[in-house]
C-alpha cells in the first residue's frame, strides 16, 4: 500500500481518482455477481443440510478405510465450500492436534486446492456465461489430484 502511494507520487498519477474509479467498478461487479452467489449458496446449503455429503462419505469410506471420517468429509467439502472445509480443518486440528498425522494432512489438503465450485459459479456468472463446457470436470479432476497427492505426501513424509 505504501509503496503504491509512493509510486503514485513519483509517477504523478492521480491516486485518489484511480482509487474511487476502482471502487465504482467494484460495486458494478458486485451487483453482477450477487445472483450467482445466491444460487450457489442455496445449492450448497441444501446439499449440506440434506446430509448428501454424509451419504457420499459413508458410501466411499469402506473403500478408503485408512482415513478417519472427518478427513474424508473434508476432502468432499474442499472443492465445494472454503468456509466449510476450513471449519472442518479446525475441528480436525483440535481433535487430533495440529502436529499429528491427520492434523498435518488436513492442513495440506486445505492448502492443496481452491474451492472449484465457488470460483466457477462466481466467475462465469459475472460475465453471463451459461454453457461452461467441461470447466467443472477439469476443475474437480485437478482437485482430486491435489487432494490425493496431499494425502500421499503426508503419509509418506510425516
Partner 1 sequence: MNKLWLCLCGFALIYGMVNHNIESLNQVLMNVGTDTLDFAIPIILTTCFFEGIMEMAKRCGVLNGLQRWLSPILLKVFPDLDSDDEALSYISANVVINMFGLGFAATPSGLKAMEHLQKKNKEKTTASRSMVTFLVLNTAGVTLISANIIAARTAEGSNFPTMYMPLAIVSTACASIAGLLLDRWWNYRRS
Q: C-beta of 69: minimal distance to partner 1 in Å?
A: 18
Q: C-beta of 63: minimal distance to partner 1 in Å?
A: 21
Please give the Cα distance from 100 to 2 (Å, whole number): 40
Measured from the CB atom, is 64 or 145 closer to partner 1?
145
Q: C-beta of 123: minimal distance to partner 1 in Å?
A: 5
Provide the Cα torsion 84, 89, 90, 95; round to 10°.
Answer: 130
How is residue 51 annotated by DSSP?
T
Question: With left for phi above 0 and alpha for psi between -120 and 50, is residue 97 left, alpha or beta?
Answer: left
Amino acid at each position: 500500500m505504501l509503496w503504491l502511494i509512493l509510486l503514485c507520487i513519483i509517477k504523478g498519477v492521480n491516486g485518489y481518482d484511480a482509487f474511487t474509479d476502482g471502487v465504482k467498478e467494484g460495486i458494478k461487479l458486485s451487483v453482477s455477481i450477487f445472483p450467482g452467489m445466491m444460487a450457489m449458496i442455496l445449492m450448497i446449503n441444501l446439499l449440506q443440510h440434506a446430509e448428501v455429503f454424509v451419504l457420499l462419505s459413508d458410501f466411499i469410506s469402506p473403500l478408503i478405510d485408512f482415513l478417519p471420517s472427518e478427513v474424508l468429509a473434508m476432502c468432499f467439502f474442499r472443492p465445494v465450500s472454503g468456509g466449510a472445509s476450513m471449519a472442518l480443518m479446525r475441528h480436525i486440528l483440535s481433535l487430533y492436534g495440529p502436529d499429528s498425522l491427520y492434523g498435518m494432512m488436513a492442513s495440506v489438503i486445505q492448502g492443496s486446492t481452491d474451492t472449484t465450485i465457488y470460483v466457477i459459479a462466481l466467475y462465469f456468472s459475472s460475465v453471463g456465461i451459461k454453457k461452461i463446457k467441461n470447466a467443472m470436470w477439469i476443475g474437480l479432476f485437478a482437485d482430486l489430484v491435489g487432494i490425493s497427492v496431499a494425502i500421499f505426501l503426508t503419509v509418506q513424509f510425516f
